Structure 1
Amino acid sequence: METWILFSLGAVVFQTARFMLQKVLATGGLSAGGATFARFLFSAPIVWVAAPFLVPDWPSLGPLFWPYAIAGGISQIMATVCVVLLFQTRNFAVGITLKKTEVLLTVLVGIVILGEGVSLAGLLSMIVGLTGVLILSDPPKVEGGRWTDILMSRAVVLGLVSGVFFGISAVTYRGATLEVAGEAWSRALVTLSGVLLVQIVSLGGWLLWREPGEVSRVAKAWKRAGWIGLASLGGSFCWFSAFALENAGYVFAVGQLEVILSLLASVIFFHETVSRREGLGIALITLSVVALVAVT
């Protein structure tokens, strides 16, 4: 099996664990910005301490490394903010469903920014996977008017914008790793170090300005948020390693297996049953990933 696929699967496992921890270890008392900042705050020190030991000969960075790292770090923050705002809208289910188109949006962003496209077979595989993800999603409930009104709503805009920002972050993260010399894992570690610096400074500065006292509340929540930060660190390292090796669109397509893993976690830990609709969705996502692996 290709190394980038293994890293993508590792990212799926860590990300599922992070979502489960967020559900169990609620970061009570933190704002949306504070909860997002906690991911970076409790990941960054580990990366910054480990990086010099694991990569003693610091590689040279290409001229586009920092532009890519800054664009990716800020885009990820903006994408997360859009998702948080989605839950404050009346038709958030519609927006969340549209957010799931991020795999195809990532392909478009990759073509624009890096000039990296995908094969026709790869694109068809992604469409099959997206169909499976949408089937597994709760059907959006149209509230407050006709579909034509909903499609012009704030929820739709936020859903699509979040998908675009997630696509930009993935593609620019890949671009940043390509600006670093060395093995994939060391390129990923160096890039992650830079991106976390961008996110700590930018989001931390924003919180100090707009939400005084929130940074202190995040620091005091280390017993709860620390575990989330560790799971986030594992997921980020795996994502970055996969991006260093393969097109971001392909990586995100394999990452759709997260939906299946989350469903299995619900079955195992909460003893929920799998419906026929969910079974069909699982089958389509699995078929998509198998086909994708075969054509890449």
Structure 2
Amino acid sequence: MPLWIPLTIAAAFLQNLRSTLQKQLTGEMSALGATYVRFAYGLPVAALYLWGLLAFTGAAMPEANASFLAYATVGGLAQIWGTVLLVALFAYRNFAVGTTYSKTETIQTALFGIIVLGDHLSFGAFAAILISLAGVLAISIAQSKLTLGTFWRSLGEKPTLMGIGSGACYGVAAVCYRAASLSLERPDFLVSAAYTLVIVLLIQTAVMTVWLRLRHPAELSASFRTWKVSSLVGVTGALASMGWFTAMTIQNAAYVRALGQIELVFTFASSHFLFREKTNALELTGIALVIGGILLLIFAR
């Protein structure tokens, strides 16, 4: 089995765990604050990981070039803006439509990968991405109690455009992270991915620290006050990012993000079997499509 597959599955599982921990911060800070602690508390963990890799392998510290810094900066900022747009959606009555459209991230990642890196997608992989995307949309529509008519009629509305914009930002971020790591032109992909992660987290932490200090100082205070849970969010987030960045260094970002939708299967399994939440037919159809798309991606790629 190619290494990127277990790395992506592990990253998706850890991301699901990180999201669960972030929910514990709901009463203490906004979604932006919870996003900040993921970067700020994850940075020391990622830096320690990089140091350990260099010490264990005896490799030299990578040297950042202009292309690397450009890709890392654009990717880091794009991820922040993707989060900002997603959070801003909740101010609208029909926010569910926008959040559903944000799930188009995978197909947008594929398009950006083709444009920026010239990545090639086989017919089977493209079909797998479309199938899993249909599953994700079905799950989102079912959970937000939208109708298909409402979903399609909302095209052109502001929340829809914000949702698509959020998905585009996440797609740009994924492709830029892969491009940044590859621009280092090193054979040791683990070190390249780790170094890219550290620099991206450093940029994101610096930008959000200044932003929160100027615009939302209470969120910054809350991030220190909740250090126990926030540190767990940072650790799990950093571990997940190690998997994402390494997998995207090895493989096409679109493949990685598509396989990463297995996170929805983990979420479904925990809510259905652990919390005994009821599941409707559309959700089950969506899960089946996601699993089918993932299997097609792995075996027909």
Normalising by structure 2, we get a TM-score of 0.91
User: Who is 2:104 aligned against?
Assistant: 101
Which of residues 251, 254, 259 is equivalent to 1:249?
A: 254
User: Who is 1:6 aligned against?
Assistant: 6
Counterpart Cα distance in 1 of 2:82 and 2:31: 12
Which of residues 195, 201, 209 is equivalent to 1:190?
A: 195
User: Who is 2:39 aligned against?
Assistant: 40
User: Who is 2:81 aligned against?
Assistant: 78
Matched, 1:67 2:70: yes
User: Who is 1:166 aligned against?
Assistant: 170
Q: Counterpart amino acid of 2:17?
A: A
The 10-residue stretch of structure 1 (127-136 or 73-82) with the greater mean CA deviation from structure 2: 127-136
Counterpart Cα distance in 1 of 2:257 and 2:146: 28
User: Who is 1:28 aligned against?
Assistant: 27
1:225 CA displacement? 1.6
User: Who is 2:94 aligned against?
Assistant: 91
Q: Given the superposition, is the C-alpha separation of residues 141 and 42 from structure 1 closer, same or farther in structure 2, using an over 3 Å criterion? A: same
1:114 CA displacement? 1.4
1:28 CA displacement? 2.5
Q: Is the contact made by 1:204 and 1:215 (CA closer than 8 Å) also made in structure 2?
A: yes
Q: Is the contact made by 1:103 and 1:252 (CA closer than 8 Å) also made in structure 2?
A: yes
Normalising by structure 1, we get a TM-score of 0.92
SS at match of 2:141: coil
User: Who is 2:50 aligned against?
Assistant: 51
Q: Counterpart amino acid of 2:114?
A: I
User: Who is 1:152 aligned against?
Assistant: 156
Q: Counterpart amino acid of 2:14?
A: F
1:62 CA displacement? 4.0
Root-mean-square deviation over aligned CA pairs: 2.0
1:253 CA displacement? 0.7
Cα-to-partner distance string for 1:108-144 (whole Å, 9 max, x where unaligned): 111222121312221111111111112222345669x
Counterpart Cα distance in 1 of 2:103 and 2:33: 24
Q: Counterpart amino acid of 1:119?
A: S
1:63 CA displacement? 3.3
Q: Counterpart amino acid of 2:93?
A: R
Q: Given the superposition, is the C-alpha separation of residues 147 and 14 from structure 1 closer, same or farther in structure 2, using an over 3 Å criterion? A: closer
Q: Counterpart amino acid of 2:231?
A: G
1:270 CA displacement? 0.5
Query: Structure 2: which 5+ runs fail to align?
Result: none
Query: Structure 1: which 5+ runs fail to align?
Result: none
Counterpart Cα distance in 2 of 1:265 and 1:147: 27
SS at match of 1:137: helix
Q: Is the contact made by 1:97 and 1:137 (CA closer than 8 Å) also made in structure 2?
A: yes
SS at match of 1:87: helix
Q: Given the superposition, is the C-alpha separation of residues 148 and 281 from structure 1 closer, same or farther in structure 2, using an over 3 Å criterion? A: closer
1:215 CA displacement? 2.0
Q: Is the contact made by 1:59 and 1:182 (CA closer than 8 Å) also made in structure 2?
A: no
SS at match of 2:93: coil
Counterpart Cα distance in 2 of 1:117 and 1:32: 36
Q: Given the superposition, is the C-alpha separation of residues 49 and 108 from structure 1 closer, same or farther in structure 2, using an over 3 Å criterion? A: same
Cα-to-partner distance string for 1:135-173 (whole Å, 9 max, x where unaligned): 222345669x97787323221011000000000000000
Counterpart Cα distance in 2 of 1:208 and 1:37: 12
| Identity over aligned pairs, percent | 36
1:19 CA displacement? 1.6
